[in-house]
Chains A and B, each alone.
Chain A
Amino acid sequence: MNQMDERDFASRAMARLDAALPPAGMAVRLLAAYDAALLRGGRLARLAELLWPGMPAWAPGVALAASLLLGVGVGAALPAPTTERMAFSLADPPSATLESLLVEER
């Protein structure tokens, strides 16, 4: 069998397939998804307009992400506060006096 015959055979076979009709209500469900997507998009756009009036919706998002990155970067670069107790503190005076230490040395 040559290529042309195989092509015709495939076309004849495909012509025998049933119609595969979409289920009832599919179009309605697709449009409901459209409404939901539109609503979500609308909410985001309103929030963006509130944050940064007159700019496209992505601009506030980018500004927010950039400030977050900057904050995290600075936070990571700064030295962590030490948890060790300082040697001298007014809130926590030393228990030993200078005299008692001198006596101990002797």
Chain B
Amino acid sequence: MHNPDTELVARAGHGDRAAAAMLVSRHSARIFALARRMLGRDAEAEDVVQDTFLKLWTHAARWQPGAAKIETWLHRVALNACYDRLRKKRPVPLDEALELPDAAPGPDQGLDAPALSAAVAAALAELPERQRAAILLCHHEERGNIEAAEILGLSVEAVESLLSRGRRNLRARLAPFRGLLGEDE
């Protein structure tokens, strides 16, 4: 199947700025969203996007058409950059790290949408990094297990195991919000 990204990368590698702009417009927002949810901060997420695209620009002229899908490759590079940053990061208090409002549920669990979103983001941030990445790829970006496995550099079985643990952990962390998330308690 023809993938327009392959042609765009080849053109960008030969100095076609419009092709580079097209690649940015097709992929940068999604890569940013993934990095933002992995790292919790806009500035760090943008740094990851910059590093990822810089790698693409440097490799564009030598890109092999038969190699991995550009989108898969970009996600993989971005996730590796996120892992590097997470390992270097000193532990910081969660509310500071995520720049989130207080998401503690009230007695009646009367949360508005932004607070519930913050609670979900906080629960996600508490997951181990690979579980978080797997959950984001499969449940937020709605990718299949095979593609997620390629991005994560793991076997499909390993991704399924990560997803299973990740879902269980997420559900346990969001226990106070189950009613709001459409689950009967």
Contact = CB atoms under 8 A, between A and B. Distances in A.
What band does the interface of chain B fall in when counting residues whose beta carbon is under 8 Å from A?
35 or more
Contacts, number: 109
B174 interface: yes
Interface stretch (B48-56, B65-73, B88-96): B48-56
Contact of A34 (B20, B123, B170): B20
Interface residues of A, number: 31
A34 B56 CA distance: 9
Interface stretch (B77-85, B114-122, B149-157): B114-122
Interface string B170-182: 1100100010011
23 contacts: A3-B167, A7-B167, A9-B170, A9-B171, A9-B174, A10-B135, A10-B167, A13-B120, A13-B123, A13-B174, A14-B135, A16-B113, A19-B33, A20-B32, A20-B36, A20-B45, A21-B32, A21-B33, A26-B28, A29-B46, A31-B24, A37-B54, A42-B15
A11 interface: yes
A45 to B, nearest CB: 10
A18 B114 CA distance: 7
A27 interface: yes
Interface in A1-58: 1, 3, 5-7, 9-14, 16-23, 26-27, 29-31, 33-35, 37-38, 41-42
B140 A14 contact: yes
Interface in B101-121: 113-114, 116-117, 120-121
B46 A6 contact: no
A5 B61 CA distance: 46
B42 A34 contact: no
Contacts of B170: 9-10, 13
